[in-house]
Amino acid sequence: MALGRGLGDILQEVEEAYEKNLDGMESFELDSSGVQVEEIDINLIAPNPYQPRKNFDKNALKELSESIKKHGLLQPIVVIEKGDGYLLVAGERRLRAHKLANIPTIKSIVAEVDMDEFKLRELALIENIQRENLNAIELANSYAELIEVHNITHEELSKIVNKSRSQITNTLRLLSLSSNTREQIVAGKLSQGHAKVLIGLDAKDEKLIVDSIVGQKLSVRDTEKLVKKYKNKSTTSKKTKESLDILLEYKEEINKHLSLPHKIKSNKLEITFNNKKDIENFLKLLKNSTI
């Protein structure tokens, strides 16, 4: 699987142009690649509806906006013509910062290709993944969407986005976390390192540990120790329950053959001896028991 000839190839050529200093390229060189550079009214540019990136750091946008005011936009955004205007393909952060700077037009590369909704969504996902500007949950959602759209394996996706299969699998596992935990990751209160440690906990323990990480600003190492403690406790509780279940399975038989005062507590059978005769009767019962 890979992007076919079209906007994907043009974006690659644009990246190469950036590296060579796009401003220094002759217009015929850009035209030969199917690329035009224009100053476009920002009000004519619509965002890509399939943009997987949902969160933009306000301080970083402000810094970029100030830089654009001072130095101009060094890397044009990429758009395609759509109806009476344009549709943004790459550079939403740059476009947002440009609007913040109150500059009416923006330098744009107009790619002359036809894009259906399927291809537009694919490109938005891959472009963001390759630029590594998504948070861990957005990245996981992007991987999941590409897998669903193309009905491919983790191994096949790894070749498309140039990531290891294990990295993709580990990132996708973050989607098994609770909505609260995912929100904390998006908000930057939990790192991906923290999140990976939380996978596999039950919902109650997961929330308790997330609250501890956020409230006490625990490191990943401290979180690992805390999670290990909870997992050990969970394993012990599970074994205790299994033992109790076994005893309860034989409760009727125990009651039938054991006349002495007794009760099943946790994973234990407690017998009360009131006198010596009770003990003798119990020993006799053990010798003759068919249980």
Sign of the dihedral defined by the CA atoms of residues 221, 53, 42, 115, in that order: positive
Burial 229-244 (b: 16+ CB within 10 A, else e): ebeeeeeeeeeeeeee
- What element of type H or E holds 46? strand 45-46
Q: Exposure pattern of 137-168 as b/e (b: 16+ CB <10 Å)?
A: bbbbbbbebbbeeeeeebeebbebbebeeeeb
Query: DSSP letter at 115?
Result: -
Q: Which one, of 172, 161, 224, 164, lies nearest residue 198 by Cα?
A: 224
Task: Provide the pairing of β-strand 77-82 with 85-90.
Answer: antiparallel
Dist. CA 101–CA 84, nearest whole Å: 25
Angle, helices 136-150/154-161, rounded to nearest 10 degrees: 110
39, 106 Cβ separation under 8 angstroms: yes
Longest dimension (CA), the chain: 109
CB 28 within 8 A of CB 141: no
Element (H, E) at 87: strand 85-90
Write down the catalytic residue from 19, 81, 92, 242.
92
If DSSP codes are grouped into helix, strand and coil, which group holds residue 199?
Answer: coil
- To the query of whether residue 92 is one of the catalytic residues in this protein, the response is yes
Catalytic positions are 92
